[in-house]
A and B are shown apart, each in its own frame.
Chain A
Amino acid sequence: MNANKKKWIWPAIGAILLLIYPLVITLPFPRHLMIMIFLYATLGLAWNMIGGYAGQISLGHAVYFGTGAYTSTLLLMKLGVSPWAGMLAGGILSIGLAFIIGYPCFKLAGHYFAIATIAIGEIAQHWMLNWDWAGAAVGLTLPILPESLINLEFHTTKVPYYYIAFGIFALSIMVTYWIDRSKLGYYFKAIKGDLLAARSLGIDVARYKFYALALSAFFTSICGSFYAQYILFIDPDSVFPLMLSIIVCLVATLGGVGTVWGPVIGAFILIPISEFTRIQFGGGGKGTDLIIYGFLIMVISIYQPFGVIGITKRFRKKESE
């Protein structure tokens, strides 16, 4: 019981600090930075469900992100549907897409699955670039509506965005925590560990891979809808790029795959680097953050294949010994 309480102290302190943060820090950039960290941490957590726990390396997650962004935006622009309903609709559509994509792709193993997801991501981006009704290459500028929670648009302050992003982030942590402790998590890890052994123990591999991808796609899609409402402009290059899929994978891998806190740590390391280099070098330094990412990944994969969280585990093990 005591150990149980102890385990919750740090997340609780973290949550309180994050809740106070926008009240203490009033400059827009630090607030924006935290929103991006929440967004990418959620994307990392979502990717972690299929890529980390179930071991199916997807490099096409931009498909679900873009689906979320475009679904809520198009519903809002063409039919006047609330972005919240659009967010949910995007999530459900992404689960449908996950089924269509997963059905053939899950027959592929290892690298072949990753390559197939890249291909699907590229197809989706090119489709959107040429689809006139959905804005094609020009993209969509969201209508400016009065500030309100229902419209999910705020023009004078970032604080409401901050708390909404925090809420989505907290929800994805809770879901990940639940997966980690439940039958789903054990089955995902078993599928990652050994397919034949998993089947021999009664696991319907295809079904559980789909569950992992569906959960992952749902959360990725929600992030997409949030992003559209936050930036108020989307185009295929900003919500469907391959780079987004790769960064999401990096966030989880750097922090530590198959763990609850790994992707969170990854986002807290990577996103500040990305945002600061963007400011430092402006347009001329495009890609500097990626060079740093690449370097970090090399260091991690050579010295600590379990990610940053692997280092903390190693220390903890020494303590207990």
Chain B
Amino acid sequence: MALLEVQQLSKRFGGLVANDRIDLQVNEGEIVGLIGPNGAGKTTLFNCIAGFYPPSEGTVRFKGENITGFPANEICLLGIARTFQIVRIFKDMTVLENVMVGAFNRTNLAARAKTKALEVLDFCGLAPKKSMLAGGLTIADKKRLEFAKALATEPTLLMLDEAMAGLNPAETVEAIELVRKVRESGITLLLVEHVMEVVMPISNRVVVLDYGKKIAEDVPEKVINNEEVIKAYLGEKYHASRRAH
């Protein structure tokens, strides 16, 4: 059974159609990549699923339950956690406190939240920096912290919004490793990226958006060679010249 099922979801901002009747399915244990050029509607779709925007039309189902239009905090409680493209950490709190805020999603006891947070920090390789103020971290560590906070809420489905944008190649490799580790621990992942190189090696399936529409959905190898996808990413001209060869 699908863990997350998005059916005919549309989101309009005034006259702008950011998402146009999108179908998306994420099965348990999968890593699904959601890609598309800038402005394709990836983050909007993300926000609709996570409860930050109410969809204009369509439904979102999670574990079979209709969660369309639920507030973000309830969706988090049900087991969908997300990160933000531009990191949203609590910069005046320490790294440990940041992660504890996430851990309180499943407990009311500070001691238990702390144990859980330390566990997650260890998992993400942030344990040595736990007493630092979050505002003083490097961008790579901030991204890691953003990830750790979401992980501490103990989600079933973790949605990462460009978790690897802005990282250097070495940091990207580490981040990919972390994503793999998370999947091995039994958490399903939905990744938004516009850098294809990041998504392709780790995704089981890739969904491609362009101008708010789903233009392709397949295993990574096939998506790379999909004509529509090449057109969307590289433009009509390049597409045409490629054909001429």
Contact = CB atoms under 8 A, between A and B. Distances in A.
A189 B102 CA distance: 12
| Residue from the set A181, A187, A198, A203 with the largest chain B CB neighbour count within 10 Å | A203
Contacts of A199: 52, 71-73, 76
A204 B52 CA distance: 13
B84 A201 contact: no
B93 A193 contact: yes
Contact of B101 (A181, A196, A201, A204): A201
B107 to A, nearest CB: 8
B163 to A, nearest CB: 14
A21 to B, nearest CB: 34
Contact of A196 (B52, B77, B104): B52
A127 interface: no
A198 B88 CA distance: 9
B110 interface: yes
A202 interface: yes
B90 A194 contact: yes
Interface string B46-76: 0000101000000000000000000111101
Interface of A: 181-183, 186-187, 189-190, 193-194, 196-205
Contacts of B84: 196-197, 200
Contact of B90 (A183, A197, A204): A197
14 contacts: A182-B110, A183-B110, A183-B113, A186-B97, A187-B104, A189-B93, A193-B89, A199-B71, A199-B73, A200-B52, A200-B76, A201-B101, A202-B73, A202-B153
B149 A201 contact: yes
B73 A203 contact: yes
A182 B101 CA distance: 11
A193 B110 contact: no
B82 A189 contact: no
Contacts of B72: 199-200
B184 to A, nearest CB: 23
Contact of A194 (B52, B77, B88, B110): B88
B91 interface: yes
A198 B52 CA distance: 12
B218 interface: no
A203 B90 CA distance: 14
A196 B88 contact: yes
A181 B110 contact: yes
B241 interface: no
Contact of A204 (B50, B73, B81, B108): B73
A199 B107 CA distance: 16
A199 B105 CA distance: 11
Nearest to B93: A189
Contacts of B109: 183
Nearest to B97: A186
A190 B90 contact: yes
Nearest to A186: B101
Contacts of B236: none
Contacts of B74: 204
Contacts of A193: 89-93
B100 interface: yes
A197 B88 contact: yes
A204 B76 CA distance: 10
| Residue from the set B73, B88, B93, B102 with the largest chain A CB neighbour count within 10 Å | B73
Contacts of B153: 201-202
B150 interface: yes
A205 B71 CA distance: 11
A1 to B, nearest CB: 16
Contacts of B71: 199, 204
A290 to B, nearest CB: 29
B82 to A, nearest CB: 6
A25 B74 CA distance: 57
A203 B108 CA distance: 12
A186 B77 contact: no
Interface string B108-122: 111001000000000
A200 B88 contact: yes
A179 to B, nearest CB: 11
Contact of B105 (A181, A197, A201): A201
B97 to A, nearest CB: 7
Contacts of B89: 193-194, 197
Contacts of A203: 73, 101
Interface string B29-43: 000000000000000
A177 to B, nearest CB: 12
A181 B110 CA distance: 7
